[in-house]
Structure 1
Amino acid sequence: MATDRRSSWLKGVLDLLVLSCLTDGESYGYEIAKALDRSGLGEIKGGTLYPVLNRLEEAGLVEAEFRAAERGPGRRYYQLTEQGRAHLAAESGAWLTFHTAVRTMLQPGGTGP
């Protein structure tokens, strides 16, 4: 997939995907980036990921806590808030509805013009 195409598709859904990465518990940026990469979305660089995490924190959808490490630099851990869980549930449903409409249109015999 072309990088520019992937990038533009991700803009509309990256916040939701990051929230989804936190459903099983807290995580930090590098782990989130790796989970997104493993899922087939490709490498999400820190310059893209950390502004998303900051925006989600400012919106009250995630909470963050900095923890010093015994070795190496400390890490900022993120976890979903109750508001974040509710937002994820609502927006996941909306995204899946949208995805179904797009998929229908792209299939041979879809309802396109």
Structure 2
Amino acid sequence: MDRSQLLKGLLDIIVLRVLEIEDAYGYEILHRLRGAGFDELGDASVYGTLRRLYKAGYLATYVLPSDSGPHRKYYTLTPEGRGYLKGMHEAWEDVSAKMRKLLDIPEKGRS
């Protein structure tokens, strides 16, 4: 099954949750997502999501020097981003509960 469309719809909440835990730069965000099992998320999708969330005012950035190369741009949640994540989390819990209920109902003719 191709889960890419489902993950595309969840990318905002996934990325914001990673940043709620701790600020991070792009590659570090990708590393955390892959560590959480989201191997199928493409780099371009994640970076595009970061740009879109930044443009919407849900993320802010700051730059820190790196010991191993160029400066790194870190992403952090803004107060608006925290509010957006909270609303998305509530929506996720609501939809998840409804889906669990729906999926647990036996189909007609099935025992």
- TM-score by shorter chain over 0.5: yes
The one of 18, 36, 40 equivalent to 1:39 is 36
Q: Identity of counterpart residues, as a percentage?
A: 36
Counterparts of 1:43 and 1:65, CA distance in 2: 28
| One-letter amino acid of the structure 1 residue matched with residue 30 of structure 2 | A
Structure 1 range deviating more: 23-32 or 34-43: 34-43
Counterparts of 1:94 and 1:31, CA distance in 2: 27
SS in 2 for 1:44: coil
Verify: 1:62 aligned to 2:59, yes or no.
Answer: yes
Q: 1:29 touches 1:76 (CA, 8 Å); kept in 2?
A: yes
| One-letter amino acid of the structure 2 residue matched with residue 46 of structure 1 | D
TM-score (norm 2): 0.84
Deviation at 1:93, TM superposition (A): 0.5
Q: 2:60 touches 2:75 (CA, 8 Å); kept in 1?
A: yes
Q: Which of these two proteins has the greater Rg computed from alpha carbons?
A: 2
C-alpha change, 1:42 and 1:71, in structure 2 (3 Å) is closer
Structure 1 range deviating more: 58-67 or 36-45: 36-45
Counterparts of 1:31 and 1:100, CA distance in 2: 32
Structure 1, unpaired ranges of 5+: none
Counterparts of 1:85 and 1:13, CA distance in 2: 16
Structure 2, unpaired ranges of 5+: none
SS in 2 for 1:77: strand
Counterparts of 1:104 and 1:59, CA distance in 2: 34
TM-score (norm 1): 0.83
The match for 1:27 is: 24
Q: 2:4 touches 2:40 (CA, 8 Å); kept in 1?
A: no
The match for 2:100 is: 103
The match for 2:86 is: 89
Q: Quote the RMSD (CA, aligned, Å).
A: 1.7
Counterparts of 1:15 and 1:37, CA distance in 2: 16
Deviation at 1:108, TM superposition (A): 4.4
Q: Tell me: higher relative CO, structure 1 or 2? Use CA pairs within 8 A at least 6 residues apart.
A: 2
